[in-house]
Amino acid sequence: MNVISCTRLTKRFGATVAVRELDLDVAAGQVYGFLGPNGAGKTTTIRMLLGLIAPTAGHIRLLGRPLPDPRAVSRTGSMIEEPAFYPWLTGQQNLQVTAWAGGGRAAGELGRVLDATGLGAVAGRKVRTYSQGMRQRLGLAAAMLGRPPLLVIDEPTNGLDPAGIREVRGLLRDLADSGTAVFMSSHLLAEVEQVCDRVAVIVAGRLVEEGPPARLGATRRRVRVRVREADAETAGRLLTRWRARPLDGQFVVEHDSGRDVNAALVAGGVIAESVAVEAPRLEDRFLEIVEEGTHAVAAGG
């Protein structure tokens, strides 16, 4: 069952198209990464998912219900951008008013979510004294209230130290293992790569790539070839059948088979010093996708 299903989702602000015909499906129990450069439309999409802004066109189904349906939104745990709290209340009081605002069902869970996010010791302190990392944890604690089947969170590890990032990563995985779907946007691509089951990349409001993070890299593996300096010119000519560029005395060939590349060189009389297949990290692939997506959007007007 899909917990999020968007069909041709579009949002315009005047003449600006923030999100353009976005199709997206998130299955129950998945950790789904939502990536894109600044201004790509990530937060606009999240706001539409949470009913804060209305789509200009298209449809959203959240937890099986078509939006706008406040019941679906109130069953979704959420944290948008930097979490906001009432500074004159303590951490525990902030969670209490959050639970009460949701109908009081989660009022008995404050201890559980405070412990899960490591805030038990500071729960009695006013939020105005919290560090950014503590506020981030409190935002996650608030999102977890009521054991929601879906969490929609923006930059969950923002402001956390390395130990905190590791804890949150574990927390998200535990939630997913217990059946909670997590839809998260992040700019920490290493985190996304480690935590997410699937990833979508959005550029200029358009979905440009979607799939498991490993596949996103694997489909664009590349071959790094080192040849003798005397053979460089010939090798360059032989490799023109692929996208290849010289880099630091080597050639980087956009192809996923080292065997093909080596065979082409041997057939042309060039013996390579080394041939190595590289699977780019998600970060490299993300930057490539963004670059390609930006060109495509510019070309398409």
Partner 1 sequence: MLWLLAAELRKLVRPLVWGTALAIVAFCLLITWGAANNARAGLASPRIPDVCVQAVTAQCRLVVAHAHATARAAAAATAQLAQPGEVGHVAAGMLASLPGLLLIAMIAGGHWGGEWGSRTIRQLLCREGRRGRVLAAKWLSTWIAGVLTLLACFLVLAGAAPVIAAAAGLPAAHAGLWAGLGSSISAAGRAVVVLGLFAAIGTAAGTVGRGQLATTALTAGSMLLALLVAGIAGLGRLSPASFVQAWMAFGPAGYLPTNFWSRFAGAGPSLGELAGLAGILVTIAIAAGIARWRFAADVTA
131 binds partner 1 (CB under 8 A): no
Selection from 174, 156, 167 nearest residue 46 by Cα:
156
Query: CA 116, 120, 126, 128: dihedral to nearest 10 degrees?
Result: -40
The DSSP bridge partners found for residue 183 are: 32, 152
From the CB of 63, what's the least distance to partner 1, in Å?
12
CA 34 to mean position of chain CA atoms: 3
Three-point CA angle 16, 19, 20, nearest 5°:
95
CA distance 99 to 81: 20
The single residue among 5, 30, 76, 180 that binds partner 1, judged by CB under 8 A, is 76
Residue 105 CB neighbours (<10 A)? 13
Contact letters for partner 1, residues 246-285 (x by CB under 8 A): ----------------------------------------
- For partner 1, give the closer residue by CB, 139 or 258: 139
The single residue among 22, 31, 80, 184 that binds partner 1, judged by CB under 8 A, is 80
Straight-line distance from the first to the last Cα atom of the chain, in angstroms, rounded to the nearest whole number: 36
Extended beta strands in 233-284, E state: 244-247, 250-253, 274-278
- For partner 1, give the closer residue by CB, 9 or 73: 73
118 binds partner 1 (CB under 8 A): no
Number of residues binding to partner 1, judged by CB under 8 A: 34
**Using CB under 8 A, which residues numbered 173 to 192 contact partner 1?**
none
- For partner 1, give the closer residue by CB, 84 or 214: 84
Q: Is 252 helix (H, G, I), strand (E, B) or coil?
A: strand
- For partner 1, give the closer residue by CB, 96 or 262: 96
By the 8 A CB rule, do 24 and 60 touch? no
Contact letters for partner 1, residues 11-50 (x by CB under 8 A): ------------------------------------x--x
Contact letters for partner 1, residues 91-110 (x by CB under 8 A): --x--xxx-xxxxx------
The single residue among 70, 170, 179, 212 that binds partner 1, judged by CB under 8 A, is 70
* Burial class of residue 235 (count of CB atoms within 10 Å of its CB; 0-12, 13-18, 19+): buried
- For partner 1, give the closer residue by CB, 97 or 263: 97
* Burial class of residue 155 (count of CB atoms within 10 Å of its CB; 0-12, 13-18, 19+): buried
85 binds partner 1 (CB under 8 A): yes
Spatial strand order of the sheet with 76-79 comes to 76-79, 150-154, 181-185, 31-35, 198-203, 206-211
Inter-axis angle of helices 132-144 and 91-101, to 10 degrees? Answer: 30
Stretch that binds partner 1, among 81-89, 111-119, 166-174, 276-284 (CB under 8 A): 81-89
- For partner 1, give the closer residue by CB, 148 or 258: 148
From the CB of 54, what's the least distance to partner 1, in Å?
6
From the CB of 88, what's the least distance to partner 1, in Å?
4
The single residue among 78, 92, 136, 180 that binds partner 1, judged by CB under 8 A, is 78
Per CB under 8 A, residues contacting partner 1 are 47, 50-54, 68-71, 73-74, 76, 78, 80-89, 93, 96-98, 100-104, 142
